[in-house]
Amino acid sequence: MKIQKWLSSAKKVSQQMNISRQTILKKIQTNPYYRFQSDIEINIAAELGIKIDANLASVDDWLRLPGISITQARSLVEITNSGIHFLCLEDLASALGVSVLKIQSWQPILYFGYYSADSFYFPAKVNPNNASLNQLITIPNLDVNIAQKIINDREKNGNYRHIADVQKRLNLTQDFAYHLMKYFQF
């Protein structure tokens, strides 16, 4: 009789865990920016094939991980935008100023890709506030005329604050401003 009660209790617990797992699966599958709450959720995401490339991750990507602050996420994006690559979990821990043990649970969904400086995925960043004409024309689809406009406007009206400021001051299309955003760093 005790064994039967135990088996019945174990079956109920198993069913509850399965329902909980299915709920988490559904949440993760329907929301691409779902913020993981635990190691269990990270492991489920890994089973689903979800990966975060540490060298291409956006602030929103970093914020999916449990325990990371907006300040830390912005800092990691700033580091990768400056051209520094994370090669392993230890690099990431060092950049965050934490122990590897504190972020070990993130490992199943982190990917540490390496991209050469001339890669489409990791373009070199140019500061439009101090870039030369030669530096500006290295940006794909930015011709000499637009590069010269950037320099002339900068000299006449001062530094640019952000990409929207560049777009407004030079009367650029939204699509072209979006394109430049990948190459500019202010």
Q: What is the pLDDT of residue 1?
A: 67
Q: What is the pLDDT of residue 32?
A: 83
Q: Is the pLDDT of residue 25 over 70?
A: yes
* Range with the poorest average pLDDT among 17-31, 44-58, 79-93, 125-139: 17-31
Confidence grade of residue 15 (pLDDT, cut at 50, 70, 90): low
Q: What total of structural domains would you count in the chain?
A: 2
Q: What is the pLDDT of residue 11?
A: 64
- Residues 111, 155 within the same domain: no
Q: Is the pLDDT of residue 62 over 90?
A: yes
Mean pLDDT for all residues in the chain: 88
- Residues 49, 108 within the same domain: yes
Q: Is residue 61 part of a domain?
A: yes
- Residues 106, 138 within the same domain: no
Mean pLDDT of 67-96: 92
- Residues 110, 48 within the same domain: yes
* Range with the poorest average pLDDT among 33-37, 112-116, 141-145: 112-116
Torsion of CA 101, 48, 76, 182, to 10 degrees: 170
pLDDT digits (tens, 9 = 90+) for 156-178: 999 999 999 999 999 999 989 98
Q: Is the pLDDT of residue 144 over 90?
A: yes
Exposure string for 29-65, b = 16+ CB within 10 A, e = fewer: eeeeeeebeeeebbebbeeeebebebbebeeebbbbb
Q: Is residue 108 part of a domain?
A: yes
- Residues 109, 142 within the same domain: no
Measured CA to CA, the distance from residue 130 to residue 126 in angstroms comes to 8
Mean pLDDT of 138-153: 94
Q: Is residue 80 part of a domain?
A: yes
User: Domain range holding 163?
Assistant: 133-181
Q: Is the pLDDT of residue 96 over 90?
A: yes
What global pTM score does this model have? 0.59
> HEC profile for 152-181?
HHHHHHCCCCCHHHHHHHHCCCHHHHHHHH
- Residues 109, 69 within the same domain: yes
Mean pLDDT of 109-126: 75
- Residues 75, 104 within the same domain: yes
Confidence grade of residue 20 (pLDDT, cut at 50, 70, 90): confident
Mean pLDDT of 25-34: 88
